[in-house]
Structure 1
Amino acid sequence: MAALAVGLAADAAAQSHTVTVVRDLDYVPRAEYAGGKDRLDLYIPEGAKNAPVIFSLHGGALSAGDRREERFVGQRFAAAGYVTVVASYRLSPEVSHPAHIEDAAAAFAWVKRNIGQHGGDPDRMLVTGHSAGAYLAMLLSTDPRWLAAHTLSPRDIKGVAPVSGFFWVDKEGVAPDRPTYVWGSDPRVWAESSPARYLRADLPPVLILDTDGDEPWRQRQNADLAAALRAAGHRDVTVHKVPGRTHMSVWTKMNDSPSEETSSHILRFAARVLAAK
């Protein structure tokens, strides 16, 4: 606990960057999605030049949420010196899988191509997200099909930090217990949509965060993900359980103080995996 306190204090001391926000950048210019779901916002620390990048995807069960509700994410990480991307994506029931992950991949690809113009380093990008956003972040980092559509691969992701996510779509709490308009009703599709299907030793470093206030099935999925990654030979898996938070507040409270645990764990992970070579 003493080491944790020292680490959190160091994080607090680092929060000094003035942040500029660039809103409503269109990552699918050939299309126009209702509600601006093909847009992303950039949070840029003052003086950023070849700065590391954090790419964040919001939660909401793939049927709710928006980047504009996640300004606290951009402000928190950009204040710590990271060019931060907060992206929207299309939602169910208007669309179903794989539209959500296709959008996440398109947004990541746009950032990879364009972030250098905004002070970010396209070769130092970490992906994070909460709940359904954690699911998308992990799927983007494991199943190579989605980035391959943009001539990219999971190797272009230098670290992934899912927060209170789910990783087996075909298990309790996810597709079997949710409306069919997200993943349909075919168990084969559920399995193919699961990040856990694609675990292997050469994936990017992984930081798994959840909270003791998450639903039991979700806590099981997070613990099982860590075990399955290690069983697959992955050697860079870090796990933290944030105490005293609910499924929502483990994410939404991250900007309450510079020493808040969720964001502090992510920032320490980012400092390690995105360090300049």
Structure 2
Amino acid sequence: MMMRNKIMLLACTLMVVVSGCATKKYKNVPYLSAAAATAPKLNVFAKRGHPTRMPVLIFVHGGNWNTGNKNQYGFFGRHFAQRGVLCIIPDYTLSPDVNYDVMATQVAQSILWAKAHAAEYGGDPNQIYITGHSAGGHLAALAVVNPKYGIKPGVVSGIILNDAAGLDMQSYLEQQPPTEAADYLTTWTNEPEQWHNASPIYFLDKDSPRFMIYVGSKTYPSIAEGNDRFLKALHAFQPKVAPVVLQKKHIPMILQYFWPWSRRYGEVIAFIKQ
């Protein structure tokens, strides 16, 4: 067992070195109009060799809307860049400093930044996709489908949800009103109208981008229920979408991307190339 662990560690180290050599990381790129030094920034991962017209994938990290940062997910950016996908990972301001609306606004701004600047890094501004895990899935979907955030139809070509939370926050918060726990009162407010506006499920329509949906079979009940309701609403416009159900808990749904041989990479790229 000890020898096996050493081999795995060596393989992981080699994997990181090879991946790092094949890709280039642009750190802490400003994407918001705010000039403050403390404003969130983003990282860009590109394949070396100056390829052009790479599809663009924006990844929004999770963390219950009050934790997490872009630098935890370098493995995600490197592995996609190695496969010829320009990967952009933005930070966004967390609760309790702001509520969900500010977060979604910032995610929308990262999309607009990608539209304007992806070509500078070899990306194709006409092939922008967005994905997110947990709270990041919620923010990715909300920023695109709720028209208040200014992402016009066609700007985003597809959305990949990875065990997304909060897809129907209105239904969830009606049953469990927000409190100070986990900063939910700040994140969602105590106004039911805000809960509705925070729920991507209520803004799906014929112009919504294509969806690909991953759900863990061992995830939290609230996430499973929210995804089920979301999928039923989505079927009015995209009846062929079927969830990809994996035998995993919530956190392993993102940790699986640490391994470069994960099937998820090929599946997501296949979705992009459809």
TM-score between both structures, scaled by the size of structure 1: 0.84
Displacement of 1:33: 5.6
Contact 2:65 2:100 in 1 (8 A): no
Q: Which runs of 5+ in 2 are unaligned?
A: 1-17
Aligned to 1:170: 170
Aligned to 1:199: 204
Displacement of 1:257: 3.8
* Corresponding position: 1:41 with 2:46: no
> How far apart, in 1, do the equivalents of 2:153 and 2:129 lie?
11
Aligned to 1:213: 218
Higher helix share: 2
* Corresponding position: 1:63 with 2:66: yes
Larger Rg: 2
The 5 Å alignment of 1:245-256 reads 245-256=248-259
Aligned residue pairs: how many? 249
Displacement of 1:58: 0.4
Q: Greater relative contact order (Cα 8 A, min sep 6): structure 1 or 2?
A: 1
Contact 1:175 1:183 in 2 (8 A): no
Displacement of 1:235: 4.2
Identify the range of structure 1 (17-26 vs 127-136) with the bigger mean alpha-carbon deviation. Answer: 17-26
Aligned to 1:21: 25
- Overall identity of the aligned pairs, in %: 23
- Alignment partner of 1:171: what SS? helix
Aligned to 1:12: none
* Cα deviation code 1:117-170 (max 9, x no counterpart): 110000001000100110011112211210x2xxx4142000000111130112
> How far apart, in 1, do the equivalents of 2:255 and 2:141 lie?
20
Aligned to 1:30: 34
The 5 Å alignment of 1:2-151 reads 18-32=22-36, 34=38, 37-46=39-48, 47-146=50-149, 148=150
TM-score between both structures, scaled by the size of structure 2: 0.85
Q: Which runs of 5+ in 1 are unaligned?
A: 1-14, 273-277
Change (3 A) 1:205 1:238: farther
Displacement of 1:216: 1.6
- What is the root-mean-square deviation in Å for CA atoms of aligned residues? 2.0
* Corresponding position: 1:156 with 2:155: yes
Change (3 A) 1:32 1:209: same
